A and B are shown apart, each in its own frame.
Chain A
């Protein structure tokens, strides 16, 4: 019989042994495992790994997690209090305390949760700026490109500023103007490169920073807009998706952006993003959005709060 077969045979005993549940009453089992461990290097190493796993340090969540939770709980409790007040006034008798979160009052809850998420998002961005090494990425090629590009941007900005001053003094030759135009274009390309590389970063706070930075561009490159649209639809972090939505909403006057924003209203999106999209459509009084909202309303699995918001949006736009 091979050692592997033996290992498979005692797999269950081994698991009990590791969990420390092979007590004295099952001493025969304990002896079986111990005898096996004496002869089997593989299983000995595995038991050793199990022991070492306990030595892995425990990570601490960011303090903003507690703030987000507190904000959520506060809204929940406020909903409870209102429910109770209404109950006492006899308007809503029989409402279960705290039903607010899933029932009638979910809308303000989600709105405030949305705000708290946005606050957290601000904190994330701030954190990313203050402590660039804290995020998951450590060192990555994205970071190296971004870092290099940043340096190049600053260099170009400095050069550009110096050239402008010189130009203002009096050298208005056509060569000079062409040179400036080229530099300006180069600067914009570099900035776009930074944004694009940041949007691909593994760390959500880096991506968030990329989104925020993209918003500073007057003439966004189609590539940047496409990357933002992609981020809005598929980024794993709701914070980053909401930030991308904010960034894109600045370019709402562009038909292609408007179309992308409407297309982003998908059943699989987070309710927070769905509501933010609906609000944006209503805010910008987009008539084309009406059709999109009606189509979206057909989805049977819509979150009840989102459904309410869609109905509200349709009323506003009709």
Chain B
């Protein structure tokens, strides 16, 4: 059996690449003083970045704050953008750092709170389709460091080589991590299926009724 892998996440820049400036061209302009061009990059990346964070954290407000932080950092560090640097891995590097800094800040201050296991289901993701909902809940149950490779490769359209550079590891390691993350996701889905309907979800549906 073979699946069509054409469903691999195609991001906006790829669609637009043919007749509009590339991300890299826009970033060069931003670097050289045309700050207004960042608006175009914002339009291209705000939703993918927001979803990247939302799938990591499960929290809309945190995700929106982080997206804002990414663009603030781009302006701040724009001079460090070099010729020949592919933009997408570059912006995801900034995005990861923004999240890491935020987690570090919180960990130092809030030590007893179980970190980032959002037990709440985003309303955007609560679709009629039960399967999607289950999958989303399973994804939310996974620790960030494990699901990150999955999110980057499946949703953010990054190649394994790019992810490897981002994480500072070998490409083979990324591939193995993808495989293990999928395995864990599968196990989590099965676990959730076994205890469905969970008391929380049952309560939720009563509450919404």
> Contact between A52 and B106 (Cβ–Cβ < 8 Å)?
no
Min CB gap B108→A, angstroms: 6
The verdict on B92 contacting chain A, using a C-beta distance below 8 Å, is no
B100 within 8 A of A: no
Chain B positions within 8 Å of A255 at CB level: none
Given the complex of chains A and B, what is the CA–CA distance between A7 and B68 in angstroms? Answer: 41
Q: Is A20 a contact of B6 with CB atoms below 8 Å?
A: yes
Which one of A7, A57, A140, A202 lies within 8 Å of B132 (CB-CB)?
Answer: A57
Query: Quick check: is A44 within 8 A (CB to CB) of the other chain?
Result: yes
Least distance between B100 CB and chain A CB atoms (Å): 14
CA distance A65 to B70 in the complex (A): 12
**CA A45 to CA B189, docked complex, whole Å:** 11
Closest A-chain residue to B182, C-beta based?
A: A46
Chain B nearest CB from A178 CB (Å) reads 38
A12 and B1 in contact, given A49-B186, A77-B35 (Cβ under 8 angstroms): no
Chain B 128-146, CB-CB to A under 8 Å as 1, else 0, gives 0101100110010000000
Q: Count CB-based A-B contacts (< 8 Å).
A: 199
Task: Select which of B8, B33, B39, B204 is within 8 A of A138 by beta carbon.
Answer: B204
Tell me if A68 and B68 are in contact (CB < 8 A).
Answer: yes
Please measure, in the bound complex, the distance between the C-alpha atom of A117 and the C-alpha atom of B62, giving whole angstroms: 13
Contact with A along B168-209 (1 / 0, CB 8 A): 000010111011101101100100000000000001101110
Nearest residue in A to B190 (C-beta to C-beta)? A45
Q: How far is the CA of A134 from the CA of B126 in the complex (A)?
A: 11
Q: Complex Cα distance A66/B63, Å?
A: 13
Check A204 against B59 for contact (C-beta < 8 Å).
yes
* B8, B60, B105: residue with the most chain A Cβ atoms closer than 10 Å: B60
Q: Please report B residues at the A interface, Cβ cutoff 8 Å.
A: 1-3, 5-9, 33, 35-36, 38-39, 42, 46-47, 50-51, 54, 58-65, 67-68, 71-72, 75-76, 78-79, 102, 105-106, 108-110, 118-127, 129, 131-132, 135-136, 139, 150, 153-155, 159-160, 172, 174-176, 178-180, 182-183, 185-186, 189, 203-204, 206-208
Interface residues of A (CB under 8 A from B): 7, 11-12, 14-20, 34, 37-38, 42, 44-47, 49-62, 64-66, 68-70, 72-73, 76-77, 80, 96-98, 101-102, 113, 124, 133-140, 143-144, 202-205, 233-234, 236-239, 268
